């Protein structure tokens, strides 16, 4: 009774992230790995710097491998090390357009435990974020295109509310199209409902975990933040087929805004993942 993942073909974000290709990214990565690394090794070895050549070759190789995993910092590092102003300009513009792409952000996250310590940058900006946190809790009555894009992503990726989908599937006598339409309407209603009628933003109802258990992936908008979160989970658990979203709630606490995602893994385990979305939430409110 899962939805037909080919039935809806809606871009996940208004920034047309899916239209951004990564052909040059991969070409540049393989050029550095296949030509740049041997060149560095042979050049330094020719100068009889055996130990230095080995160290620099290993470091350069690690940068290239990180690039192949879409690490944006490795891409910048390799660009700088090219010592070519033309390459600096071309790659600078290229990586700027993809800096906040979900694939790039997910590829730039450290750690395999699913948690990441909050950086000092977040701490230095927490004062500004806290000042605008009260504005961020105001409900938006009218659904936006990003709301529909988010729901379309749920359906195409299979990360749906299984209970809601099954109930609607039964109520529509197994009609896939009617189930899909009613699911979208129900999810839109849940996203746009005011906090006074549904505690979609809870204060102190849920205990906030320690900072080292909260993932901070800064994004410029809530629309992009959701994509970044799903991209991170896809990277962590082997793609969208490796986990299913059970529930998602927005929590306010400690002068910050969080996304709390309850997910179920393919091996039956359940996990709760916390994302700090204060920056994205505040910027979205300021733009509306």
- pLDDT of 201 reads 54
- pLDDT of 146 reads 74
For residues 209-237, average pLDDT: 82
Is 280 within a domain?
yes
Is 15 within a domain?
no
Together in a domain, 157 and 239: yes
Together in a domain, 57 and 173: no
What is the domain count for the chain? 2
Is 10 within a domain?
no
Is 72 within a domain?
yes
- pLDDT of 137 reads 45
Give 75's pLDDT tier (boundaries 50, 70, 90): very high
Residue with tokens 């999810």: 187
Together in a domain, 145 and 192: yes
Query: Which of 41, 36, 18, 21 lies closest to 74, judged by CA?
Result: 36
Cα dihedral 131, 217, 271, 129, rounded to 10, equals 0
Together in a domain, 143 and 283: yes
- pLDDT of 193 reads 60
Mean pLDDT of the residues in the chain: 75
- pLDDT of 267 reads 84
Higher-confidence residue of 145 and 131: namely 145
- pLDDT of 135 reads 47
- Using CB atoms within 10 Å of the CB of residue 85, give its burial: 0 to 12 exposed, 13 to 18 middle, 19+ buried: exposed
Residue with tokens 């946190």: 133
Together in a domain, 32 and 124: no
Together in a domain, 212 and 281: yes
Among the candidates 97, 128, 151, a domain finishes at 97
Classify the C-alpha dihedral 282-118-240-243 as positive or negative. Answer: negative
pLDDT for 12 beyond 70? no
Is 104 within a domain?
no
Query: Which of 136, 171, 184 lies closest to 286, judged by CA?
Result: 136
Domain range holding 139?
A: 120-287
Together in a domain, 260 and 166: yes
């Amino acid at each position: 009774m899962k939805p037909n993942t080919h039935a809806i073909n809606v871009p996940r974000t208004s920034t047309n992230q899916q239209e951004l290709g990564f052909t040059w990214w991969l070409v540049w990565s393989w050029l550095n790995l296949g030509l740049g690394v041997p060149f560095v090794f042979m050049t330094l070895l020719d100068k009889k710097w055996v130990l230095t050549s080995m160290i620099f070759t290993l470091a350069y190789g690690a940068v290239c491998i990180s690039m192949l995993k879409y690490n944006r910092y490795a891409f910048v590092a390799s660009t700088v090390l090219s010592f070519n102003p033309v390459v600096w300009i071309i790659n600078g513009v290229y990586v700027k357009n993809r800096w906040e792409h979900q694939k790039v952000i997910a590829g730039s996250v450290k750690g395999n435990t699913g948690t990441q310590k909050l950086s000092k940058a977040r701490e230095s900006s927490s004062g500004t974020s806290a000042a605008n946190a009260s504005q961020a809790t105001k409900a938006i009555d009218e659904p936006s295109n990003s709301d529909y894009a988010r729901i379309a992503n749920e359906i195409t990726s299979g990360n749906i509310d299984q209970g809601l989908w099954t109930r609607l599937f039964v109520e529509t006598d197994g009609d896939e199209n009617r189930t899909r339409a009613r699911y979208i309407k129900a999810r839109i209603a849940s996203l746009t409902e005011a906090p006074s009628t549904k505690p979609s933003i809870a204060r102190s109802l849920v205990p906030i975990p320690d900072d080292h258990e909260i993932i901070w992936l800064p994004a410029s908008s809530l629309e992009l933040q959701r994509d970044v979160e799903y991209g991170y989970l896809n990277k962590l658990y082997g793609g969208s087929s490796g986990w299913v979203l059970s529930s998602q709630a927005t929590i306010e606490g400690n002068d910050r805004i969080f996304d709390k995602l309850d997910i179920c893994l393919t091996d039956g385990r359940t996990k709760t993942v916390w994302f700090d979305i204060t920056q994205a939430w505040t910027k979205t409110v300021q733009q509306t």
